[in-house]
Structure 1
Amino acid sequence: MLIIPAIDLKDGHCVRLLQGRMEDATVFGADPVAMATRWVEAGCKRLHLVDLNGAFEGAPIHADAVLRIAQKYPKLPIQIGGGIRSLETIAHYIEAGVSWCIIGTKALQDPDFVKAACKQFPGKIIVGIDAKDGWVATDGWADISNVKATDLAVGFADAGVSAIVYTDISRDGMMQGVNWPATQALAAACGIPVIASGGVTNMNDVTELCQHAQSGIAGAITGRAIYEGTLDLSAAQQYCDRYTSA
């Protein structure tokens, strides 16, 4: 069970947003590599990077920062999302040492692209599904579609997707706990390991996470909680390690 720290990149800084609103950004650091070091030293086993500018513009903007992190920590599993809309972009990230590329908006717009990516880069593709009230959001959460999150996930059941990162936008950055019913329902529907995102606040959420480990939930991404200190990343991961080994 993984507790995965998030580093969201906006205009070169490490930030956190409230419900995906770019205008509601809190800056937590100016050096992405230094922030990665902070979480590595705290014992993280995977790192979640998001190119926020890339998500809105449809192309990587912070590829250099991602490359520098991957070069400094070549053995650290890294997943990157935001603006990944071509096979060339995926190839660039994989060659740079990134472990997984997260396809979000493009997964809704062109499901065949996900299948082609899984075929060309086996074991390297994660689908990111961001939802508001159960409906898929795209383009940095700027647009809400008429597609249900569970329906989109089911469509990739046999595509070779490594995992799904499921974000409940209403919970993201709000420190209100994870939407477990929706996350579990998604995992049950598609049969793909799901990484929960949005709402992880404290150790109570972590203990609940471990209790849901057998329902297809592989871990949780955390951002504002570890930046503001309501959750100790090291203690959280150690708890998960003890729980899963018991």
Structure 2
Amino acid sequence: MIVIPAIDLKDGQCVRLRQGEMSDATVFSDDPLATAGHWVEQGARRLHLVDLNGAFAGNPVNHEAVTAIAKQFPDLPVQIGGGIRDLHTIEKYLDAGVTWTIIGTAAVKNPQLVKEACREFEGHIIVGLDAKDGLVATEGWAEVSELQATELAKQFADCGVSAIVYTDIARDGMMQGVNIPATLEMARAVQIPIIASGGVSSIEDIEQLLKAGEIAGAITGRAIYEDKLNLREAQQLCDQWNK
């Protein structure tokens, strides 16, 4: 399992939201490139970028910051989500040096896009499933559907999706711990690598995910920015566990 630091971009700044509320944002830095460099120094093996403005706008807004990070660290895998709704946007990000693009809202509203993207850009597509009480949320979490997240995930079982980022909205940014049962349920529903997100706030959460097994990665944000979780120590624990 790898531990993936999150860099959430809003108006060109690095922020963290609580439960996806744009009005409840904590600004941690006004220099995304320097923030990325900090996590690289701390041993990050992958970066998780989110264009928060893009998620609400439906198209990329903070693409300049994303491109700058990808170019500055060409050997570091980067995944980006937020506002990715068509093949053209995916192509632009991949051309800029991003490794994976994350399709979220569009995966719910236009599942065919995921299938087309996997054919067109094999090995570079991740699906982002955000859920509240097990139901899929879209539009930057502003809307909650009647669709079970596990049922939607099964639609992509044979598409060639590289991974699913599964986020429990109720836990995100709240420092309340990761929702292990829901994440495991997702991992057992499909044969696609699952990356846990939302509530990963302590070394104990990392230990729980490792003990649960079946989880490929864990995204963490507020906890590492507030020094509640040490990124390097968390990754070392994962490496020891995997031996």
- TM-score tier, shorter chain, comes to over 0.9
2:29 is aligned to: 29
- Paired with 1:241 and 1:90, the residues of 2 have a C-alpha distance of 32
Matched-pair identity in %: 63
1:225 aligns with 2:223: yes
1:150 is aligned to: 150
* 1:30-61 CA-partner distances (Å, limit 9, x unpaired): 00000000100000100000000000000000
- Paired with 2:184 and 2:71, the residues of 1 have a C-alpha distance of 35
The one-letter amino acid of 2:242's match is T
**Structure 1: which 4+ aligned runs deviate by more than 4 Å?**
none
2:242 is aligned to: 244
- Paired with 1:156 and 1:132, the residues of 2 have a C-alpha distance of 20
Deviates more, 1:186-195 or 1:42-51: 186-195
Q: What is the CA distance between 1:187 and its match in structure 2?
A: 1.1
1:194 is aligned to: 194
Q: What is the CA distance between 1:201 and its match in structure 2?
A: 1.0
* 1:116-157 CA-partner distances (Å, limit 9, x unpaired): 000000000000000000100000000001111001001100
State how 1:67-78 maps to structure 2 within 5 Å: 67-78=67-78
2:91 is aligned to: 91
1:116 is aligned to: 116
> Structure 1 length normalisation: TM-score?
0.98
- Paired with 1:176 and 1:38, the residues of 2 have a C-alpha distance of 25
Q: Give the unaligned 5+ runs of structure 1.
A: none
Aligned with 1:175: secondary structure?
A: coil
* 1:73-105 CA-partner distances (Å, limit 9, x unpaired): 000000000000010100001011101000000
Aligned with 1:199: secondary structure?
A: coil
- Paired with 1:192 and 1:124, the residues of 2 have a C-alpha distance of 14
Q: What is the CA distance between 1:190 and its match in structure 2?
A: 1.4
- Paired with 1:201 and 1:6, the residues of 2 have a C-alpha distance of 12
1:208 is aligned to: 208
1:11 is aligned to: 11
Count how many residue pairs are aligned between Structure 1 and Structure 2: 243
State how 1:46-195 maps to structure 2 within 5 Å: 46-195=46-195
The one-letter amino acid of 2:162's match is S
Aligned with 2:126: secondary structure?
A: strand
Q: Give the unaligned 5+ runs of structure 2.
A: none
Instruction: Give me the CA root mean square deviation.
Output: 0.6
The one-letter amino acid of 1:184's match is L
The one-letter amino acid of 1:91's match is E
- Paired with 1:162 and 1:71, the residues of 2 have a C-alpha distance of 22
Q: What is the CA distance between 1:212 and its match in structure 2?
A: 2.2
- Paired with 2:184 and 2:209, the residues of 1 have a C-alpha distance of 11
The one-letter amino acid of 1:236's match is A
